[in-house]
Structure 1
């Protein structure tokens, strides 16, 4: 694998539908930029009814999208995997362990696992309850691409035997998320699928401030929220917002909120895609805090970290408009300089080429004889 055009096959959760998952937007930005570097990409996606009913990218123009119904049908695409320079299996793929075994057995190129849920994955492995990755598979993948950086990378190599663990954070396509200014519809918004471990933070940093400030306007966009949540009258609920509506949503928000899952707070170094998308628009961010956040955006200068409803309301009511705009501009500058999809595609290519070089040099861990059933 020299500097020539690469043939990449990705087996991921979803590219065609962003409904209820953050994987689709991550894959879209990354693979579009990767293809723009001259590479050929094929994406294999399990055809499941909940995504089939909500497809917002059924025919991408930057890669070949193939839907397969089950493991038996995946067999029809073994030649594409075998002939590829690299194959990537993603987290949360249905029957992911079996899919991974097939990819590992069929592939002659670099075999990589892309974990967009690393802390959740490792917690599941420790509990013996991870349905999409087997602990023993980690050493067979030449490369572990991780949504989480920092100390987790060393843990993946030392404790789990990964030959090479590398951070591959989410990113943003600046063309899809340009700087926008719109009349404010909301003082504070949040965009994210319901998660029980995020809900207490959403309650503290958005719902309770909304209760205390009926004169302010709030919004929560995302599916799967239980019917029993007591939403204040000044909170607009949007059940699903497709990616092409995200920019206008952020632009219409004076501030937007980032809330992190508990496993990712514990691991640190796990920036959500919403950080990059909102910052690219120029919307200032409020967030919970975790280790490694300051390596992405500087607290107080490029992102705000209120811990209480009172602190949120002080920002919404008292921060001068010039300071609000300055924070939004500062975050945008950092994201465009370090966290665009172009940067991630460059990183992915370099990681794949490094892994190929290790295989040529005989340094890659030997693969197992995998039973494919």
Structure 2
């Protein structure tokens, strides 16, 4: 298959949490022999903050974030078998969505890849003029990187022909155990950009525990925290490039995952950070969300907290030996059932099915 993807960025994780997902999933598809072209805008300083070089398994097209630049790249879908518009490109999202429906060859499969389905569905409920309302009946397929049955049912209710979750996963070549670094040592570390729909949960699950444990050290990575008041034992280090994620994950006693509000409410939405940390063999503490057991077993492969006090109790009783045991068990579980190579097998099957449906309906445009 030849696959054309319009997304936020594959080259930069700067203000772009989806980068790891794109790299892992599309790289796995390329290893299975599929051609990948990724179109990304020059926006939000991402091109000035690249953390990987253009990979040899994909053609990357960087375009100007202007109406003219968008029109130009939409015309480059060419002979692609699959044309994908990702959510959250950040600029000209509606124009890109409309554009994939009228550009490319008539028989191409048109796909919307939603990397924040709970938030997108909330927008659809609140805004009858949302571009997806008109686009969904014409799209062949909606893919999401989380959400499970609740998201699938919701998208069907809005008129999607089909909706299939392709969950986040681990790329073992990228995220794996490394040597610890004293510069990243902490009792608890968290890697998360400052976002309005997650900040209150981070206050509860990270900053409140830090204030309750003044003798312990806390490390916060991610953009946007420079002016946030924090306890004295919290060290905010700003944006952490992908190449440093492994050492950050292995150098702390435990690593915290905090879901965004909408993802926690819907559940079945493990963040990329979960798989990155597990792949490095880190001991994970996560806020509670439905569906955790589909990926990791609470108590033996991950620690679950329903509030900040639970985080405090986990940290008070977590020995280095138990943390190591939990991290090793998590890594084994993820390697056995949740790698991007395994996700690519599912995605390949789903896309082949969509192509077959297209062929059986030659009159569709």
Counterpart position of 1:196: 196
> Of the candidates 136, 139, 144, which is equivalent to residue 138 of structure 1?
136
Gap change, CA 1:280 and 1:363, over 3 Å in 2: farther
Counterpart position of 1:155: 154
> Of the candidates 33, 37, 42, which is equivalent to residue 38 of structure 1?
33
**1:81 pairs with 2:80:** no
Which aligned pairs between 1:259-278 and structure 2 lie closer than 5 A? Answer: 259-278=258-277
Shift of 1:49: 4.6
**1:357 pairs with 2:356:** yes
Counterpart position of 1:3: none
Q: Using the alignment, how far apart are the partners of 1:183 and 1:240 within structure 2?
A: 17
Gap change, CA 1:224 and 1:362, over 3 Å in 2: same
C-alpha RMSD of matched pairs (Å): 2.0
Q: Using the alignment, how far apart are the partners of 2:307 and 2:73 within structure 1?
A: 52
Counterpart position of 1:210: 210
Shift of 1:106: 1.5
Conservation of the 8 A alpha-carbon contact between 2:205 and 2:258 = no
Shift of 1:363: 9.5
SS at match of 1:189: strand
Q: Using the alignment, how far apart are the partners of 1:299 and 1:363 within structure 2?
A: 49
Shift of 1:336: 1.1
Counterpart position of 1:348: 347
Conservation of the 8 A alpha-carbon contact between 2:6 and 2:40 = yes
Counterpart position of 2:229: 230
Q: Using the alignment, how far apart are the partners of 1:231 and 1:315 within structure 2?
A: 21
**1:53 pairs with 2:81:** no
Conservation of the 8 A alpha-carbon contact between 2:148 and 2:269 = yes
Shift of 1:74: 3.6
Gap change, CA 1:129 and 1:338, over 3 Å in 2: farther
> Of the candidates 157, 165, 168, which is equivalent to residue 167 of structure 1?
165
Shift of 1:135: 1.1
Counterpart position of 2:88: 92
> Unaligned 5+ residue runs, structure 2?
none
**1:24 pairs with 2:24:** no
Which aligned pairs between 1:195-344 and structure 2 lie closer than 5 A? Answer: 195-225=195-225, 227=227, 229-344=228-343
**1:68 pairs with 2:67:** no
Decide which moves more: 258-267 or 73-82. 73-82
CA deviations over 1:261-289 (Å, ceiling 9, x no partner): 11111211111000100001110111111
Gap change, CA 1:175 and 1:122, over 3 Å in 2: same
Conservation of the 8 A alpha-carbon contact between 1:177 and 1:247 = yes
